[in-house]
Amino acid sequence: MDVLGASGSGAGTVVNALVKEFPGLRVRLAALPSVLGVLGGQILDPEALPRVELVPQSHPVPSGARTLLLCRLLEWLPDEDAVLTLAEAAAALPADGALVLVEQVEAADPDDIDAVLHHLRLTAAFGSGLRSAEDVTALAERAGLGVRACRDIGWDHRLWVLAPSD
């Protein structure tokens, strides 16, 4: 059975849904110890916990997985940090591995006040802000990743399936 590696501020909720939907799935979820405490105690359902390994680490990319899910990890990172994180993720993948990246992108409606405020908060706090889908794709390419697929998944979120470029 393959193990899914996961990290990012949205990974806990996604992992919770995935292990319910796919009973054979095992997940290695990496985060700081304080985050793992919240995930294990408040986010993940008790029946999901036996199939989720909570891995305390400061590095956001869990090792030992053929597929990595990074969910809303880049929104807190300025461009250079995002490229480094994606490059490290690419280096952790086996040759046949894949990186599934989920990020919120700039709102289609420029008058969406919630999206504008979220962008301003991210910019002020982290120097990042919301990116366009094209900007996220460019970061992935700078990190040595090629786009296998990209699709809108709703609520201004986009999903990329990435793999190391040849």
- Domain count of the fold of the chain: 1
CATH number of domain containing 132: 3.40.50.150
User: What is the number of H-type helices and E-type strands within the chain?
Assistant: 5, 7
Q: What does pTM read for this prediction?
A: 0.86
Q: What is the pLDDT of residue 104?
A: 87
Q: Based on the number of CB atoms within 10 Å of its own CB, is 141 exposed (0-12), middle (13-18) or buried (19 or more)?
A: middle
Tens of pLDDT, residues 51-90? 999 999 987 777 778 899 999 999 889 999 999 999 998 8
pLDDT in tens, 20-54: 989 899 999 999 999 999 999 999 999 999 999 99
Q: What sign for the dihedral angle of Cα 106, 86, 7, 11?
A: positive
Per-residue pLDDT tens over the stretch 109-128: 777 778 777 667 767 766 67
Question: Which residue range forms the structural domain that includes residue 27?
Answer: 3-164
